[in-house]
Each structure stands twice: as structure tokens, then as C-alpha cells.
Amino acid sequence: NAGVTQTPKFQVLKTGQSMTLQCAQDMNHNSMYWYRQDPGMGLRLIYYSASEGTTDKGEVPNGYNVSRLNKREFSLRLESAAPSQTSVYFCASRGQAQETQYFGPGTRLLVL
């Protein structure tokens, strides 16, 4: 039981490049989330998926797209990376009727 896993752990991009961050959970959770963590700002919600087949914007969705591929997997795509997207990205999941979110180890992204 690995919980929430994320790949890659670290990535360097040039401005304008695209990439997809992968997230998977093996806890049979319905809801999944993508956050970014910036110094002095805590975590901010980018997108979430309340259930398979649905996605919704969070607090800071601009510049990102998501796909809920199936119940286990929720990916985050940067179509044209910008230096402002340099951050640490965390995926999380939550079971139905639960309040606690379970977090992955994070992906550190540097955009030059």
C-alpha cells in the first residue's frame, strides 16, 4: 500500500516547454487534488476532482490543465511553462465521507 505517489520528484524546464506531472493513489479514494506550495504562502489549490470523470478549478488554475484518467490517476499538465510556475507541487486524495486529505511526496519544478 504505497498511498499517494507522484512522478517525477524533480524537473527542470525551460520557459515555454510543456510537461505532465503524474499522480496515483491506491486507497480507492474518490477525490483527488493538486496543490502548489510557495514560500510564505502555504499550499494553494490548483484543481481538484471530486470523482472519476469530473474536474473543477481551485484557487490558482491559470496555466494548468488536469485529467482524471481513472479513479487512481490524476495528472497535471503545464502546456507552456513560465518561471512563475516554479514551485513544489503536491497531489492529495480523500475518501468519500472523510475529511482528511492524504498527500504525496511532492514534485519540485524549476522553470528557467
Other beta carbons within 10 angstroms of residue 93's beta carbon come to 26
Considering the complex, what minimum distance in angstroms separates the CB of residue 20 from other proteins?
Answer: 19
Q: Does 40 bind other proteins (CB under 8 A)?
A: yes
Query: Cell numbers of 6, please?
Result: 507522484
Residue 94 in the binding site for other proteins (CB under 8 A): yes
Q: Is 1 in the site for other proteins (CB under 8 A)?
A: no
Asked if 8 touches other proteins (CB under 8 A), the answer is no
Closer to other proteins by Cβ: residue 80 or 98: 98
92 φ, ψ to 5°? -140, 160
Residue 62 within binding range of other proteins, rule CB under 8 A: no
Strands in 1-112 per DSSP E:
4-7, 10-13, 19-25, 31-38, 42-49, 56-57, 65-68, 74-78, 87-94, 102-103, 107-111
12 in Cβ contact with 79 (< 8 Å): no
Q: Which of 17, 19, 27, 50 binds other proteins (CB under 8 A)?
A: 50
- 110 near other proteins, rule: CB under 8 A: no
Site residues (vs other proteins, CB under 8 A): 4, 31, 33, 40-45, 48, 50, 56, 58, 90, 92, 94, 98-106
